[in-house]
Structure 1
Amino acid sequence: MTVTRPGRTPRPDRPIVRRLILVSGQEGAGKTTIIRALLPHTPSGARVDAEDLGQVNPCLFDDAFWRLLRDNVAALVRNYWAAGFENVITGSFLTTRDDFLRFRELVPEADEVFMVQLLVQPDERLRRRLTRAKRTTQEWRDRVDRYDAADTTIAADQDGYRYLAVDSTAMTPGQTVAAIVRGFPEIYGSRPPG
């Protein structure tokens, strides 16, 4: 099956390779910033930031909410692939290996999966949470921290994805993007971002 994008010439000589680039990390690690900053460097790319999709009132961290969010992200990812975009960057909804497995069931047609885990030291993560445009209260941060504890399961069991940990504590978004580009030459080749 040849998939075309509006305004693009179909490439019947090469079927698309459906890739997922998943960005995980605790609140304040910079997932939204990196998902947005990575897109201009991603060939045949699209982005789906679950944080944008998960804006509901009231916001409850219950199983029904997370199921709905995973379903919505998966639907958009599949729509982008169907339109011919090979590389879909998404994140802001995975915190554990189990979260990945639940999401992976929703997108079985993914040919390749790449997982980026943003690691940030607690003091820097707090500084980012306090200085970013997306303001939160201490009550909210405490609530999120109870749900979103530091996780090691994504790194410990890497079956099903290529894994890249990026300690972005002292990095700018551009440096973090450069580390991701270098880490996944299958997507980005050997060219430096810029």
Structure 2
Amino acid sequence: MVSPVPEGRLVLVCGQEGAGKSTIIRALLPCTPYSARIDAEDIGQTNPCPMDDEFFDLLRGNVAGLVERFCSAGYVNVIAGSFLRDYRDYLAFRQLLPKPTAVFLVELLVDSDVRDDRRLSRAKQTTQRWRDRVDLIPEDRTIREAANTDYRYIGVDTTNLSIVETVRWITESIPEIYRQQ
């Protein structure tokens, strides 16, 4: 059992494929006290991967179950990502969880040329067919434009930022978690 601090917090990382979600989720863990990391791309690998609403319902349920179990074990900061396509997905996910004290929704934004380069050079390789399929999904702005949300939106343009700079930007934007660092 981890020695908990008094408040529970959830950091959700979203963005288009190649924006750096998995990389940033991994990089945030060491500097986030009393924390657990959930990357839905790791827990949601299937063959075939349908990428339809039923699949995302399953994925959200799996992530919500892990969030709840980590919180019950005393990990009061949970970093999760790679499972939100839009605001509707967020609302469906929140219905599966008791409300933590604070939710921080970090959207990683990146120029399309840089994103395409990252997709080709990263360790987690995808096929051209997969990339073409993902590229048919239009960019959704509802997460950043939603009104009366229960989260703080933090948009980070990672186009010209290193991993270290991106993590610094995020940690400086969430003093509720990172002020002691």
TM-score by length of 1: 0.89
RMSD between aligned alpha carbons? Answer: 1.4
Aligned partner of 1:155: which letter? R
- Pick the aligned partner of 1:85 from 63, 69, 75: 75
Report the identity percentage: 54
Cross-structure match for 2:126: 136
Aligned partner of 1:29: which letter? A
The answer to whether the aligner puts 1:67 opposite 2:57 as a matched pair is: yes
Cross-structure match for 1:116: 106
The answer to whether the aligner puts 1:156 opposite 2:150 as a matched pair is: no
Q: Distance in 2 between matches of 1:108 and 1:151?
A: 26
- Pick the aligned partner of 1:37 from 16, 27, 43: 27
Q: Distance in 2 between matches of 1:59 and 1:74?
A: 20
Q: CA deviation at 1:109?
A: 3.0
Deviations 1:166-189 (A, max 9, x none): 000011111100000000001101
Q: CA deviation at 1:108?
A: 2.4
Deviations 1:76-103 (A, max 9, x none): 0000000000000000011211111110
Q: Secondary structure at the match of 1:166?
A: strand
The answer to whether the aligner puts 1:53 opposite 2:48 as a matched pair is: no
Aligned partner of 2:36: which letter? A
Cross-structure match for 2:172: 182
Q: Secondary structure at the match of 1:24?
A: strand
Query: Mean alpha-carbon deviation: is it higher for 163-172 or for 103-112?
Result: 103-112
| C-alpha contact (below 8 Å) 1:28/1:126 kept by paired residues | yes
| C-alpha contact (below 8 Å) 1:182/1:190 kept by paired residues | no
After TM superposition, the runs of 4+ consecutive aligned structure 1 residues lying more than 4 A away are none
Q: CA deviation at 1:161?
A: 0.2
Aligned partner of 1:98: which letter? R
Q: Distance in 1 between matches of 2:93 and 2:69?
A: 15
Gaps of 5+ in 1: none
Q: Distance in 1 between matches of 2:99 and 2:173?
A: 23
TM-score by length of 2: 0.95
